[in-house]
Structure 1
Amino acid sequence: MISEPRADLCAALAADLTGLSYTSARLRALWGVPADAALGRGSAHPARAALHASNDPVALVARLFWLGDPVPADALAPVMPRTGIDGLGQLGLVESDGELVRPRAMIRPQAYVDDAGTGEWWIASDLDELALGGSLPPDHVLGVGGASMTLAGLQVPVPGGSVLDLGAGCGIQALRARRAAASVLATDVSLAALRYTRFNALLNGVDGIDVRHGSLYEPVAGERFDRIVSNPPFVITPRKEGVPAYEYRDGGLVGDALVQQVVADAGRHLTAGGIAQLLGNWEYRDDEDGLDRVRRWVGESAAAASGVELDAWVIERERLDPAAYAEMWIRDGGTVPGSPAFDELLGAWLRDFADRGVSEVGFGYILLRRSVAGNPPLSRYERIAHPIAERGLGAHLAAALAAHDRQAALDDDELATTRLRVADDVTEARHHLPGAADPSVIELRQGGGFARTVTADTGLAALVGSCDGDLDVGTLVDAIAHLLEVDAADLRRELLPRVRELLVDGILSFVE
């Protein structure tokens, strides 16, 4: 566990790491593509072999802070001239007996890309299973994982304002939020996690991030924020003796109640127009669909905020049966599949799901927005299981919210007077039966965003294909109705609701 961070030592360490070029690209070049792929599978052996064979000073630091291996003190001291081994010890990052230096924490470079550009942070966290060689301790502070990067990419890049990072962990969401926000308040039930958040902010020279200790919204009672971001401890863990409860992923409540509480209390902590974004799991029970459960939680959040309207956009990305879900998270804790301990934990998980009537568990993204008075609410609950490129999703969500607001403020007659343009990443595919003159299926395919495939009839395909910004929607519909020999008013009633959906999807956009 690291110590309370000192600004001077963090600055010295940052200078040493900069001088070494301790970056993701440098490390990948040192250990090579096959080793990088092996790390993704949880195997450090190829990378370890490559680093031990290298005389590059950055390889020595990577052995210590990336892989968690001890290194010779006399070799480390010259490559950390500003911090020194003593300084690393004062920060709580290492311990040394004078001959070997052993890590007490990981420090790994983490590259990022957002609307403001590219960059890289160093992210410190507790030693992971690669370094420990076994199961994680319950108070483990997690580094940057796949879920962390997903949520970071989803963050809506709204400039200025205040952000609450609920359950900050190592502080990666706070760092990402601070790229656009004026200030960030990070909370966590773990004091160690808050130390890592402070340390990582200082190490990367990021100001404007404050921390408070406490569970969920307790540290911010009565306060409101322009944005809330949370990767909460959403994993559904049996409340049984012998089943470890990891602080970084387990909120201590039964089933999906932790995510329910985060959602249900979000509305009262948002300013007008404020946005909350989180990841979560939700259960499918005998009597309730998973997305219907989340819909009910959103209603509870609106009620808790004195009836304030809440926009909701919930996207389920994955659904697992109880066995697959349990196996995934047991492995995540470092327990080896096939071992007696693994089988015992799996049995406890499956009994818990069976006792509570859980048939499946969903995972996905939740976006809530405290509606501005007069705006019709957004209510989207959908399943998107196909692969998507998560880069740029935050900007896509921001554009989708703006498009929803603009089209919702227009009645059909007003919408018909607007000029629209089809997005540059949209293509059309037509499928014909052998020998048929007309297509049996027409698809509009989106390259970016959520990579949607929209099935279109001839009229909708013609309208989308004609949206080049020159003529208004009404004129285009009338012309298409003439060509198809159908009633123009009927075609307008049919197409305008689809146009509204395509605007929110980002397949069409308004011409200014």
Structure 2
Amino acid sequence: MYISTCSVALVQHWHAARQRLETALPETVLDLCCGSGVQGIAAAAAAAARGGECSVTAVDVSARAVRFTRFNAALNGLARCVTAVQGDLYSASGIGDRTYAAILANPPFVPVPPALNAISNRYDVFAAGPGARGEGVLRGVIEGACAHLRPGGTLAIVSEVADVERFVGALPQWWSSGSSAQDSVLQPAMSALEYCQRRAGSSNEVEAWVTHLASESIESLSQAFMWVVMPHASSSSMTDVDSSSRSDSGGNVRIGIREGGCQVLMTDVKLVRVSKVWAPENYAALRVTTDCVKDLRESNS
């Protein structure tokens, strides 16, 4: 099964941030949209290398992905640590009301035009499925995370994001409890036209892509990492907030965009670019991610 650049990047960024901040290895990990199982297996391998153990639950709607994850876990001597199940995100068998120290996700994100459904197999597991904007599965990951993250736990996602400002504005509605800090590391936005030209398999398909993105009012797309850190305080002390209210303390949502060193509240959004954020061994981007996660942890300590 194909392991994408974005999957490799999430492995690198997640573990680089953890190592630099000297945070404890998570004892429990939920790997959503697991594909080959690379996120969960990497977490289990890191724990094993230190003489510890990380219990991983890997979930995917694809039976093929589940088989690959089981095989890859066995191949790496980690079959005892990794449980792969077929299911739809948090409704998969065995999750129930369990909570995890970390949730890692690489959801499908390509907004394939309905007119080109016949070619969606070209994008395999990256075709976004439900949600014409390509964010249906991403939204499901974020909406359910609050109920399944332990205090101090981290949600780490790699995905494409359409129209960053609109996306940031939607996060409070997606994140139901208002009890986390959220941050994003983003690639400079790509225009919808450039995106269509890159995704289309031929010049004849460009028009279908352009028409579809225009119908969804998508003007630009960015490659992104998203990080959510749960506060250590109990949920009973948290306060829900609406889209016009932000606080850095008292347990309220603190939402910002991090693109190279500038973090701001959502009421004053600024974007500072990090080029090639998914590129392997992009040390500048790795430093930004580490600083981002450090800030989030400090704000929730």
Which category describes the TM-score, using the shorter chain as reference length? 0.7 to 0.9
Deviation readout 1:265-305 (Å, 9 max, x if unpaired): 22222111110111122222xxxxx23423422x12432xx
Paired residues for 1:207-246 under 5 Å: 207=79, 208-219=81-92, 220-240=95-115, 242-246=117-121
Secondary structure at the aligned position of 2:209 is classed as helix
Alpha-carbon distance in 2 for matches of 1:382, 1:398: 11
Which of 177, 180, 199 aligns to 2:71? It is 199
2: CA distance, partners of 1:395 / 1:258: 28
Pick closer, same or farther for the CA change 1:259–1:200 going to 2, 3 Å: same
Work out the CA distance in 2 between the residues paired with 1:192 and 1:236. Answer: 22
CA distance in 2, matches of 1:407, 1:213: 36
Query: Are 1:175 and 2:34 matched, yes or no?
Result: no
Contact kept? 2:186, 2:258, Cα under 8 Å: yes
Q: Using the alignment, how far apart are the partners of 1:408 and 1:275 within structure 2?
A: 11
The DSSP-based 3-state class of the residue aligned with 2:10 is helix
Cα RMSD, aligned residues only: 2.8
| Corresponding position of 2:263 | none
Question: Shift of residue 397 of structure 1?
Answer: 4.8
Cα drift, residue 185 of structure 1: 0.6
* Structure 1 CA distance for aligned equivalents of residues 42 and 293 of structure 2: 20
Larger gyration radius, structure 1 or structure 2: 1
- Where in structure 2 are the equivalents of 1:87-98 lying within 5 Å? none
Tell me the alpha carbon deviations over residues 190-245 of structure 1, each in whole angstroms, 9 at most, x when there is no partner. Answer: 10111111111111222301111012222134222110111111112112254422
1:296 has 2:188 as partner: no
- Matching residue within 105, 112, 136 for 1:257: 136
CA contact (8 A) 1:318 1:364 kept: no
From the superposition, tell whether residues 250 and 309 of structure 1 become closer, same or farther in structure 2 (CA, over 3 Å). Answer: same
- Work out whether residues 113 and 212 of structure 2, in 8 Å CA contact, stay in contact via their aligned partners in 1: yes
- Aligned residue for 1:227, secondary structure, equals strand
Q: Does the alignment pair 1:355 with 2:197?
A: no
Give the match for residue 8 of structure 2: 149
Q: 1:346 to 1:216 in 2, by over 3 A?
A: farther
Give the ranges of 4+ consecutive aligned residues of structure 1 lying more than 6 Å apart after TM superposition. 392-396
1:232–1:280: 8 Å Cα contact kept in structure 2?
yes
1:328 is aligned with what amino acid? R
| Equivalent residues in 2 for 1:298-317, closer than 5 Å | 299-303=172-176, 307-317=177-187
Distance, in Å, in 1 between the alignment partners of 2:77 and 2:297 is 37
Structure 1 408/268 Cα, relative in aligned 2: closer, same or farther at 3 Å? Answer: closer
- In structure 1, runs of 5+ residues without a counterpart are 1-124, 126-142, 285-289, 336-341, 410-512
Corresponding letter in the other structure for 1:216: L
Task: Specify every segment of 5 or more residues in structure 2 that has no aligned partner in the other structure, as ranges.
Answer: 19-23, 48-52, 238-247, 260-272
Counterpart in the other structure of 2:269: none
The structural deviation recorded for 1:149 is 1.1
Higher relative contact order (CA 8 A, sep 6+): 2
DSSP 3-state at the match of 2:257: strand
Contact 1:155 1:177 (C-alpha < 8 Å) held by counterparts: no
Amino acid at match of 2:67: R
Superposed displacement of residue 400, structure 1: 5.3
Q: 1:239 to 1:262 in 2, by over 3 A?
A: farther
TM-score, normalising length: structure 2: 0.73
Match of 1:372 among 232, 255, 268: 232
Q: Does the 8 A contact of 1:315 with 1:381 survive in 2?
A: yes
Work out which of the residue numbers 249, 266, 282 in structure 2 matches 1:390. Answer: 282
In 2, the alpha carbon distance for the partners of 1:310 and 1:196 equals 33
In the aligned structure 1, how far is the partner of 2:286 from the partner of 2:54?
Answer: 18
Match 2:192 to one of 301, 315, 322 = 322
Aligned mates of 2:126, 2:179 — CA distance in 1: 30
Q: Percent identity?
A: 20
Q: Paired residue for 1:381?
A: 257
Which residue pairs with 1:267 in the alignment?
146
Q: What's the CA shift for 1:354? A: 1.5
- CA–CA distance in structure 2, aligned partners of residues 242 and 408 of structure 1: 43
Residues 1:242 and 1:391: Cα distance change in structure 2 (over 3 Å): same
Give me the whole-angstrom Cα distance separating, in 1, the residues matched to 2:299 and 2:85: 40
Alignment of 1:463-482 (within 5 A): none
What amino acid is aligned across from residue 252 of structure 1 in structure 2? G
2: CA distance between counterparts of 1:392 and 1:227? 24
Aligned residues: 249
Q: Distance in 2 between matches of 1:241 and 1:399?
A: 41
2:187 aligns to what SS in structure 1?
strand
Question: Which whole-Å CA distance do the structure 1 matches of 2:188 and 2:287 have between them?
Answer: 22
Q: What is the rounded CA distance, in whole Å, between the counterparts of 1:270 and 1:202 in structure 2?
A: 27
- The code of the aligned residue for 1:283 comes to A
Give the superposition deviation at 1:159.
Answer: 0.9
Could you give the per-residue CA deviations for residues 103-162 of structure 1, whole angstroms, max 9, x where no partner exists?
A: xxxxxxxxxxxxxxxxxxxxxx2xxxxxxxxxxxxxxxxx22211111111214341321
Q: Write the letter of the residue equivalent to 2:185.
A: I
Distance 1:155 1:214, change over 3 A: same
Following TM superposition, by how much is the alpha carbon of 1:364 offset from its aligned partner in structure 2, in angstroms? 0.7
Letter in 2 for 1:371: P
| TM superposition shift of 1:312 | 0.4
| CA displacement 1:141-190 (0-9 Å, x = unmatched) | xx222111111112143413210110111111122121236111111111
- Alignment partners' CA distance in 1, 2:38 and 2:98: 23
1:11-22 correspondence to structure 2 within 5 Å: none
* Alpha-carbon distance, 1:326 to partner: 2.3
Which structure: greater strand fraction? 1
- For 1:300-354, what per-residue CA distance to the aligned partner results, in whole angstroms no more than 9, with x for missing partners? 2432xxx341110112113112232123233xxxx4xxxxxx2332221111112
* 2:62 corresponds to 1:190: yes
